[in-house]
Amino acid sequence: MVENRPYRDFFAHAVLVTGVLLVAFPLWVTFVASTLTFEQIVNVPMPLWPGDQFLHNYTQVLTSGSEKGSSAPVSTMLFNSLVMALSIAIGKIVISILSAFAIVYFRFPGRQFFFWSVFVTLMLPVEVRIIPTFKVAADLGILDSHVGLALPLIASATATFLFRQFFMTIPDELAEAARIDGAGPIRFFIDVVLPLSKTHMAALFVILFIYGWNQYLWPLLITASESMYTVVIGIKRMIAGGDASNEWHLIMATAMLALMPPALVVVLMQKWFVKGLVETEK
């Protein structure tokens, strides 16, 4: 960079490699544990090199769940997580882009009021209103269902803001030209706004997919039957008691299955992920 000092470069690499290794250490232990037998893990210290139980453990959890804790197969839980993550991500994008379009491209009575009422929802995370929200879900009869998992988490101020900011940067000439050519607002939305918003939608999708997949408190409250558990809840239910009695080999295999999909999304869609993260937060 500024000066050429080989030892400093070496130092930087050393710090970074240490950081990467420390960050990866839990993942490695988890992976190794998921390939061992129960006896190998309980026999302290557990080996730090993968064993030969990979197929056995993963088939076991995917098809029939754990033996002592929850007995729902993890494949069902993965499916529930996927449904939840996809409906939250797509749902949020759809309702936010529609409301941002209304707020930016129309003048109507109550516009400011609606804008601010969406804005203040930023300040109300699920955690601070758990019990009343649970009551609403109970009254609507959506407890223990896929709708109940996703619907209450769909409203999003951040996505609405992102789209609003972006729509403000679309040149007015485009809307003017569309109007002169006789296109109404719906036509304009479908043919101009949607195609222009593609990159923003992709970036938001990555962030919201992870958000939905990793939800914990809400699914914990409203799922009652094991067939509705998301995989994050499933793991929690597998941890039954003392640490030597848990079936750690199965729990760790489930943990790998639970963290791989969002981790792959982050790593493979890194560009969209970074864009989404930086833009939704600022």
Partner 1 sequence: MEKRVVFKSAWLPYVLLLPQITITVLFFFWPAAQAVYFSFQLQDAFGMTSQFVWFDNYTYLFRDSHYLSSFKVTAFFSVMVAACGILISLLLATMADSVVRGALGYKTFLIWPYAVAPAIAGVLWAFIFAPSIGIVTYFLKKFGIDWNWIINSEQAMLLVVIASVWKQISYNFLFFLAGLQSIPKSLIEAAAIDGAGPFRRFWTIVFPLLSPTTFFLLVMNIIYSFFDTFGVIDATTQGGPGDATKILVYKVYYDGVKAADLGGSSAQSVILMAIVISLTVIQFRYIERRVQY
Residue 100 burial class via C-beta count within 10 angstroms: exposed 0-12, middle 13-18, buried 19 and up: buried
Rounded least distance, CB 165 to partner 1, Å: 9
Rounded least distance, CB 81 to partner 1, Å: 10
Mask for 1-40, x = binds partner 1 (CB under 8 A): xxx----xx--xx-xx--xx--xxxxx-xx--x-------
CA distances to 31, 80, 109, 113 from 235, rounded to whole Å, are: 15, 14, 49, 43
Nearer to partner 1, 33 or 74 (CB): 33
In angstroms, rounded to a whole number, what is the distance separating the alpha carbons of residues 255 and 5? 43
Rounded least distance, CB 152 to partner 1, Å: 4
Query: Contacts with partner 1 in 34-53 (CB under 8 A)?
Result: 41-42, 44-46, 48
Query: Contacts with partner 1 in 194-233 (CB under 8 A)?
Result: 210, 213-217, 220-221, 232
Which of 39, 108, 112, 182: binder of partner 1 (CB under 8 A)?
A: 108
Tell me which stretch binds partner 1 (CB under 8 A): 56-64, 72-80, 111-119, 190-198: 111-119
The set of residues, in sequence order, having a beta carbon less than 8 Å from that of 209 and lying 6+ positions away, is 85, 86, 88, 89, 262, 265
Tell me which stretch binds partner 1 (CB under 8 A): 53-61, 71-79, 185-193, 194-202: 185-193
Tell me which stretch binds partner 1 (CB under 8 A): 52-60, 62-70, 197-205, 264-272: 264-272
In angstroms, rounded to a whole number, what is the distance separating the alpha carbons of residues 95 and 174? 23
Closest to 279 measured CA to CA, from 208, 217, 212, 221: 208
In angstroms, rounded to a whole number, what is the distance separating the alpha carbons of residues 30 and 216? 20
Rounded least distance, CB 84 to partner 1, Å: 12
Residue 211 · residue 81 · CB < 8 Å? no
In angstroms, rounded to a whole number, what is the distance separating the alpha carbons of residues 72 and 10? 50
Which of 90, 143, 277, 279: binder of partner 1 (CB under 8 A)?
A: 277
Does residue 87 belong to the site contacting partner 1 (CB under 8 A)? no
